[in-house]
Structure 1
Amino acid sequence: MDTKKIETLDVALMRASKKIKVLQALQWPLGAEEKFLETWHRGNPTLPEITLERHDYDDSISTLEDIESRCDLDDPVEKFLAETAQSYGYAARMLSAVGTPDFTTYATKIYGRPDTVYKLQGMSAVDGANFFLEVTDALLGNVNLPPTPTDISADDFAGWLKAEVDEFFDKDTVEVVVDKRLSSKALAGASRIRVRGSALFSQLDKDQLLFHEAYVHTATVLNGQKQANLKSLSLGAPRTTRTQEGLAVMAELMTNAMDINRLRRIALRVLAVKQALDGANFIEVFKFFLDAGQSEEESVRSAQRIFRGGDMKGGIVFTKDAVYLQGLIEVHTFMRVAIRDNRPDLIRNLFAGRLTMGDALRLAPHFESGWLYPPTYLPVWASDLRRLAATMAYSAFVSHIKLERVYLERAIEFEEELKATQPAPSR
């Protein structure tokens, strides 16, 4: 390993990536969603007219291409640097092509398509989304599932979250700020977590956003910053998005923070991305979310997430929202196999910075040697490998049970069958 070369490339990559901030560049102007809802309430909805500024990324792209060309792909560290540089190059080209077909071309290079069938899984994110919606459809409106009250203000939520992150990130300072421009309920960085000012939060939101945003997204950036030999592990590189979001959604499941509405939101976004790719316009996608039970405000924000940087008429969209479900499936499978193959260290490696699952495997020897550091911040559910192993082992077992052959009355039948097989008591 040429450590001097790696250090040079690492520093160059950190500098070249600084200007490329995808979500910031695609942010809609304040009040755009409200303006659309005004036309909706008047009974004459019109497509939002959004003009995003295009920036010149030519210098950054040139530098990133140079970094990529200088990397030896046979070396796992240099391969990480090359692929990270390439993904930032794709992101720069995507942002340079806002509103054009090339925007979606590069978006799908980075985030993939929701209808891609993965060879080993034999299914796509669309298939997974349809399954979850089918399973949960019957539960909606069930009197046995009480509604979740949403009555916590953004200021109160931010105050609670600040206390939690201060306790967890005891070696760093993480701000929590209220941001009225935010489209999602919360967005995490290394030193700051933003909370949407117009949102109301529930008790479930507390755990979901704490475990998802703070204990995964913020934690992995801070852990990456503490890497002395590979600082670019702290970069939120576009290529790591699927693993990052999969890990974050997995955290919600492992901590019982996931609820039925959150699961459905993730599934609905996958189908909405597919519809928009197939030509559905902004209004049609908005109606899709509305018909699925979301409020008008959440429906317009959900549609906005998909059309940011795209064409409101459809066909040109931002495909990032399709990665949450696919990432969850991949991360869950990766963890199961890591436990099966007695490699729990690979799970820990995923938190040591912003990595893909492939990175965690390829860079494992460097973690073992101490050249790369283990994570400083690791959520409890991922740090107690004995409990995690039990959960993954049980998950692997129950996946073999075919529910289509099982019905509720079978519980009574099973008891009767069991009695019939027992010997009669002696007299």
Structure 2
Amino acid sequence: MSGEASSTTSEGELRAGGLSDEELSAKDTSGSPGTEQLSPALDIDARLTEIERRVNLLVNATPLNAAEAWADFERSDFGTAPTLRLRPLDFDPDLAQRDLYDLEVENVGDPALHTLFRAKRDEIARQITALEDRDTSRFLYGSLQLYGTVAPPLAAAAAELLETIPPQAPSTQTVTAGAFADAARAEFERYRAVYPDFPVRVEVRDDISELMVSFGRLLIPESAAFRADRIEPLLHHEVGTHVVTYQNGARQPLTLLTIGLPGCDETQEGLAVLAEYLTGGLDPRRLRVLAARVVAVGKMLDGAGFLDIFESLRTDHRIPARTAWSIAIRVVVGGGSVKDAIYLRGITRILDALAEGSRLDVLLVGKLALDHIPLVQDLLDREVLHAPWVRPRWLDVPGAHERLERLRAGATVTDLYEGDVAA
């Protein structure tokens, strides 16, 4: 996951479109022959980035009280739907919309960037409207506009995964948030050993309910317990993908590559799931969760409420209670969210792209979608953008190259299932 955890920005951050002074000093735009002529466009880019950081969709759509709500739900013998509490918005939606449409995007002369900025402005506007609509039925429509629906092929792939992969016993070995934070800091240090300027940003927070990356910061929920066998895959997912692409984007003149080009979330999550697979960490439990998320979104779109979704996951698909709870609240939060369907859809599209010969290096330049590859490649060719600064460790884990080559030969998401695991 990606988003922003703090709405406060320093003067230095505002100058660089939301980048910290540390990241500003790392940016180098002086040697790019195409950058100077794009200076007006890069000013728009910086303002769009600052506004999205202020809006902070992910954190503002994440429950504050998930741990307490789970305890209440468990005490009710799973009979009473939870009440999820969201944080008050700390920005004025009207002012944010005004700032957006005060930007003179029409004056951007580069046709590709003009189209890109208009699409990004539209995406941020939809984020603002969705946040205003939290806890109403309108929130769902905003979520659909941002993330898309569950098309029949995706629903069929999810159903096939749940049918193919036998139910797994819950894992009995877990680690605390503190222990996971220690492992995360060690992972950051592995990157720093190769890239000394790679910043270490790990926070254990009591005001979030999900593990997430927030503009280069790894945020860990204080009350969370993590499966011991999931630590390494999660680190490759969160640090090796979301943090690495953020840091690569921070080295680019186009600041939007830190927060993400329009619609990048699907590709980001697909790439992160790929990282789990290449490192041998995409186990049957995880695949069943990704499939169950799609099923839960589909049931919500059909009108099911929290209790119906929760019970269906448990009885129809034998998802453990705590996992079914987590899946269900992520789907009903705010009035209905379809975001969780992007994980399976994202890896499906990544698999298709690999089979078609797409290279991964372009996707590592920053946070972008598969659809942006031609645009980004053009900017690379014109030397407006630079090659990625950091190479993710998951590309060099033993066995990763062989797995990647197998995927390039053609694979479906069901082919990612490699057998059961012990409890």
Pairwise same-fold verdict (TM > 0.5): yes
- Cα pair distance change 1:238/1:4, threshold 3 Å: closer
Corresponding residue of 2:132? 96
- Cα pair distance change 1:370/1:396, threshold 3 Å: closer
Q: CA deviation at 1:217?
A: 0.5
Is contact 1:269-1:321 (8 Å) kept?
yes
* Paired letter, 1:9: I
After TM superposition, the score normalised by the length of structure 1 is 0.79
2: distance between equivalents of 1:238 and 1:25?
A: 19
Q: CA deviation at 1:69?
A: 4.9
After TM superposition, the score normalised by the length of structure 2 is 0.79
Q: How many residues align?
A: 372
Corresponding residue of 1:268? 292
1:37 equivalenced with 2:56 (yes/no) = no
Q: Secondary structure at the match of 2:388?
A: coil
1:301 equivalenced with 2:337 (yes/no) = no
Q: Secondary structure at the match of 2:76?
A: helix
Q: CA deviation at 1:381?
A: 4.3
Is contact 1:208-1:257 (8 Å) kept?
yes
- Alignment counterpart, residue 143 of structure 2, candidates 91, 96, 107: 107
- Cα pair distance change 1:238/1:78, threshold 3 Å: closer
Q: CA deviation at 1:72?
A: 5.7
* Paired letter, 1:250: L
Is contact 1:16-1:60 (8 Å) kept?
yes
- Cα pair distance change 1:49/1:192, threshold 3 Å: closer
1:177 equivalenced with 2:203 (yes/no) = yes
1: distance between equivalents of 2:291 and 2:395?
A: 25
Corresponding residue of 1:409? none
Percent identity (aligned): 23
Is contact 1:71-1:82 (8 Å) kept?
no
Corresponding residue of 1:11? 46
- Cα pair distance change 1:394/1:302, threshold 3 Å: closer
Q: CA deviation at 1:274?
A: 0.9
1: distance between equivalents of 2:393 and 2:71?
A: 43
Q: CA deviation at 1:78?
A: 2.8
Is contact 2:44-2:105 (8 Å) kept?
no
- Alignment counterpart, residue 99 of structure 2, candidates 60, 63, 69: 63
Give unmatched runs, 5+ long, in structure 1. Answer: 118-122, 142-146, 311-316, 404-427
2: distance between equivalents of 1:198 and 1:294?
A: 21
Q: CA deviation at 1:326?
A: 0.3
Corresponding residue of 1:221? 246
* Paired letter, 1:371: V
Is contact 2:314-2:320 (8 Å) kept?
yes
- Cα pair distance change 1:387/1:336, threshold 3 Å: farther
2: distance between equivalents of 1:81 and 1:132?
A: 38
Corresponding residue of 1:314? none
Corresponding residue of 2:370? 357
2: distance between equivalents of 1:179 and 1:323?
A: 25
1: distance between equivalents of 2:346 and 2:218?
A: 22
Q: CA deviation at 1:331?
A: 1.3
Corresponding residue of 1:255? 279
Q: Which moved more, 1:148-157 or 1:240-249?
A: 148-157
Give unmatched runs, 5+ long, in structure 2. Answer: 1-33, 416-423
- Alignment counterpart, residue 322 of structure 1, candidates 341, 346, 366: 341
2: distance between equivalents of 1:23 and 1:279?
A: 24
Is contact 2:126-2:145 (8 Å) kept?
yes
* Structure label with greater radius of gyration: 1
After superposition, what is the alpha-carbon deviation per residue over 1:172-220, rounded to whole angstroms, capped at 9, x for unaligned? Answer: 2222222244322x21134421223223323321112111000000111
Is contact 1:88-1:237 (8 Å) kept?
no
2: distance between equivalents of 1:16 and 1:397?
A: 42
Is contact 1:273-1:319 (8 Å) kept?
yes
Could you list the structure 1 runs, at least 4 aligned residues long, displaced by more than 6 angstroms after superposition. Answer: none
1:25 equivalenced with 2:49 (yes/no) = no
2: distance between equivalents of 1:92 and 1:331?
A: 29
1:331 equivalenced with 2:360 (yes/no) = no
Q: Secondary structure at the match of 2:238?
A: helix
* Paired letter, 1:211: H
Q: Kindly report the root-mean-square deviation, in angstroms, between the aligned alpha carbons of the 2 structures.
A: 2.9
Q: Which moved more, 1:27-36 or 1:9-18?
A: 27-36
2: distance between equivalents of 1:298 and 1:387?
A: 28
Q: CA deviation at 1:322?
A: 0.7
Q: CA deviation at 1:320?
A: 0.5
- Cα pair distance change 1:69/1:371, threshold 3 Å: closer
Aligned pairs (5 A) from 1:80-229: 80-114=116-150, 116-117=151-152, 123=153, 125-137=154-166, 140=168, 148-169=171-192, 170-184=196-210, 186-227=211-252, 229=253
2: distance between equivalents of 1:148 and 1:53?
A: 36
1:241 equivalenced with 2:270 (yes/no) = no
